[in-house]
């Protein structure tokens, strides 16, 4: 019997990464063993490349990574973007006006396209701490001056789920809206998801959805689970993702990825 998958797709935050943004030795060993059994590992994250690169470097990762919710397919070994999809800024502005008409003023941040694209942070937007490049701007117009891959929105009163739901209703078919983590609601190009980016990367590797096991923890992982043969939610995952997962493992703090891979390796 051989290892049942050719591709192991993992989200980063809340999944591959522990809460201190490190990857455990056990998980590293399990991924290495899966690779030895013929399964490539691919990171699939909502983070854009500049917010992902230091983690890939720490892992010694030189393959393809899907970043920015699928907008970027990045070759870590060659340090270059293979694909990069940008958000239509006129449509995004219209979408934001529709959301604000329903829920009131929003705090905004925006992720610029490219290998070195900064995240521009507007007044009132709460930034999560970490080694991530962020530039604070007082004039929100600065956010729209160069190509973007996404816009982040926050509301002073609504929680993440409520904001994402209200925004989705307000924008209709102009753009897509995803909840990607605590305090992270994003506006994306219509039709973009982790599944679209992962399918592009998998095609380059000659691997199919039927060969893929995927791990995640948030609603933005739902399309990836729908695409892959087997979706594994972390114990700490959002209820919406657990509802569509084929399996739930232990938490990101308790080596949930390794638990599943070790079992599959024993069985193969």
Residue 184 pLDDT class (50, 70, 90 cuts): very high
Mean pLDDT of the region 232-242: 98
Distance, CA of 7 to CA of 179 (rounded, Å): 25
What is the 8-class DSSP label of residue 14? I
The distance between the two most distant Cα atoms of the chain, rounded to a whole number of Å, is: 60
Mean pLDDT of the region 215-236: 98
pLDDT in tens, 65-111: 999 999 999 999 999 999 999 999 999 999 999 999 999 999 999 99
- CB contact set of 32 (below 8 Å; sequence gap of 6+): none
Mean pLDDT of the region 204-212: 97
Residue 66's φ and ψ, nearest 5 degrees, are -100, 120
Instruction: Report CA-CA distances (Å) from 123 to 89, 98, 113, 114, 136.
Output: 19, 20, 21, 24, 8
Instruction: Report CA-CA distances (Å) from 234 to 35, 59, 141, 193, 264.
Output: 21, 21, 39, 20, 16
Distance, CA of 268 to CA of 264 (rounded, Å): 6
Mean pLDDT of the region 137-166: 95
Is residue 133 predicted with pLDDT exceeding 80?
no
Residue 131 pLDDT class (50, 70, 90 cuts): low
Mean pLDDT of the region 131-143: 84
- CB contact set of 192 (below 8 Å; sequence gap of 6+): 69, 70, 71, 85, 176
SS3 174: coil
Instruction: Report CA-CA distances (Å) from 8 to 18, 120, 151, 220.
Output: 18, 32, 28, 17
Query: What's the distance, CA 158 to chain centroid?
Result: 22
Count of beta carbons in the 10 Å neighbourhood of residue 134: 16
131-145, 151-165, 191-205: least confidently modelled range: 131-145
Residue 128 pLDDT class (50, 70, 90 cuts): confident
**Cβ pair 37, 266 in contact under 8 A:** no
This prediction's pTM: 0.95
Instruction: Report CA-CA distances (Å) from 221 to 16, 53, 131, 139, 166.
Output: 13, 20, 23, 33, 20
84: tokens are 């990069």
The confidence score (pLDDT) of residue 239 equals: 97
């Amino acid at each position: 019997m051989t290892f049942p998958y050719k591709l192991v797709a993992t989200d980063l935050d809340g999944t591959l990464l522990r809460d201190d943004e490190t990857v455990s030795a056990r998980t590293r060993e399990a991924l290495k063993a899966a690779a030895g059994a013929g399964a490539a590992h691919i990171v699939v994250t909502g983070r854009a490349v500049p917010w992902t690169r230091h983690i890939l470097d720490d892992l010694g990762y030189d393959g393809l990574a899907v970043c920015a919710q699928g907008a970027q397919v990045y070759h870590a070994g060659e340090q270059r973007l293979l694909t990069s999809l940008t958000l239509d800024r006129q449509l995004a502005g219209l979408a934001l006006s529709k959301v604000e008409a329903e829920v009131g003023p929003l705090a905004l941040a925006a992720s610029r396209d490219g290998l070195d694209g900064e995240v521009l942070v507007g007044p009132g937007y709460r930034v999560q701490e970490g080694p991530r490049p962020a530039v604070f701007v007082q004039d929100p117009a600065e956010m729209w001056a160069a190509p973007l891959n996404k816009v982040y929105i926050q509301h002073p009163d609504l929680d993440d789920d409520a904001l994402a739901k209200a925004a989705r209703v307000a924008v209709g078919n102009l753009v897509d809206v995803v909840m990607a983590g605590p305090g992270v609601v994003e506006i994306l190009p219509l039709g973009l998801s982790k599944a679209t980016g992962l399918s592009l990367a998998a095609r380059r590797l000659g691997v199919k959805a039927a060969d893929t096991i995927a791990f995640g923890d948030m609603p933005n992982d739902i399309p990836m689970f729908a695409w892959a043969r087997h979706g594994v939610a972390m114990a700490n995952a959002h209820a919406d993702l657990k509802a569509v997962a084929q399996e739930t493992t232990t938490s990101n703090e308790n080596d949930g990825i390794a638990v599943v891979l070790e079992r599959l390796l024993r069985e193969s």
